[in-house]
Amino acid sequence: MRLTAEQIASFHEDGFLVLQDWFTPDEVDLLRTETYHEFGNDQPGRILEKNGAVRTVFAAHKSNDVFSRLTRLQKMAEPAAQLLGDEVYVHQFKINAKLGLDGDQWEWHQDYLYWLKEDAMPTPNVLSAVVFLNTVDDFNGPLLLIPGSQKMGTIDLDVEKKYQQLDVAESWKPTLTADLKYKISKRTLIRALENSRIVAAKGTPGFVVFFHGNTLHASAGNLSPVDRLSVFISYNTVANALQPIANPRPTFISERDFTPIAALPDDALLAPRNGHSSPQREQLASLAG
């Protein structure tokens, strides 16, 4: 199998697993080229920062062959299946830009809270695999995680709201607004850090982080001139398929086709086959090589 027993145990202990050098420089070049290509497309899945720079592009795997193949590579889908213990499909796909000087922060949150509240995903047995396309250091907004925070379970939002009201009442804050809809209170963050710490996921281009749906994570703004591009692939198990709801979110944000992935060989990103290639993409791949 792809991951060792130690790596699997580490994921279940910490709520995340960092894999250095998971993609080659040629693969990273191709993914980076395709990423900037997607940023230039004015499409419904493209979300902007407050300052107008690109923040996120959703669902590029539905229209872009390279990203489609990326989600199906054995080295991505197999670890996801191993860590979740079941066949997987892609619940959500997004590219986060965090451009040099423009990339804003993401506050502390659990991904699963969104998928529970917005999409009726039954359990938190879901994870995200993030491919980082640049060197990530302390200054370009590394992904921050709290080891073991997934063991707190899914956070109760009614309690969080009460905590936040208390925090405001006890502080000098005339007003309070939350950027994120399902924001974690300061009290809960302090509790998560009582026997843990904040860890920054750093590495060279092509490293990958797998993290559990309940793992608390955040990232600071990018104060370096270096972009910090990352591709988030959220894998869910077929057994944990979304329940039917009245007004589901668009499928470019929340997939409702639960067909499990038919994995591709690891070299399929640069050497497409099985009808998943196109002449234009092959040319790009060859240029990137």
Among 4, 12, 47, 48, binds a second copy (CB under 8 A): 48
Q: Is 111 in the site for a second copy (CB under 8 A)?
A: no
Element (H, E) at 113: helix 111-119
Q: Which stretch binds a second copy (CB under 8 A): 104-112, 154-162, 241-249, 251-259?
A: 104-112
83's CB contacts (< 8 A; 6+ apart) are: 3, 8, 11, 17, 127, 210
Q: Report, in Å, the least distance between residue 201 CB and a second copy.
A: 12
What's the CA angle centered on 249, arms 247 and 253, to 5 degrees?
170
Q: Which of 282, 236, 226 is nearest to 103 (CA)?
A: 226
Q: Which is nearer to a second copy, 54 or 131 (CB)?
A: 54
Q: CB under 8 A: which stretch of 69-77, 125-133, 216-224, 232-240 binds a second copy?
A: 216-224
Window 63-102: residues binding a second copy (CB under 8 A): 99-102
How far apart are the C-alpha atoms of 146 and 110, rounded to whole Å?
11
Residue 286: how many other CB atoms lie within 10 Å: 10
Asked if 53 touches a second copy (CB under 8 A), the answer is: yes
For residues 64 and 93, what is the distance between their CA atoms, to the nearest angstrom? Answer: 12
266 in Cβ contact with 75 (< 8 Å): yes
51 binds a second copy (CB under 8 A): yes
Piece in contact with a second copy (CB under 8 A), picked from 51-59, 118-126, 262-270, 280-288: 51-59
Which residue of 40, 44, 250, 289 would you call a contact of a second copy, by CB under 8 A?
Answer: 40
**Calpha distance 133→287 (Å, rounded):** 17
Q: Is 139 in the site for a second copy (CB under 8 A)?
A: yes
What per-residue string of b and e applies to 85-117 under the rule 16 or more CB within 10 Å gives b?
A: eebbbbbbbbbbbbbbebbbebebbbbbbbbbe
The H or E element that residue 77 is part of is helix 74-84
Asked if 186 is part of the footprint of a second copy (rule: CB under 8 A), the reply reads yes
Cβ at position 214, least distance to a second copy in Å: 19
Nearer to a second copy, 21 or 179 (CB): 179
Neighbours of 220 (CB within 10 A): 18
Residue 120 binds a second copy (CB under 8 A): no
Residue span binding a second copy (CB under 8 A) among the ranges 11-19, 23-31, 114-122, 138-146: 138-146
Single out the residue of 8, 120, 157, 198 in contact with a second copy (rule: CB under 8 A): 198
* Binding range to a second copy, per CB under 8 A, among 116-124, 171-179, 251-259, 263-271: 171-179
Which stretches of the chain bind a second copy, using CB under 8 A?
Answer: 39-40, 48, 50-54, 99-102, 105, 107-108, 138-139, 141, 144, 171-179, 186, 189-190, 193, 198, 200, 218-221, 223-225
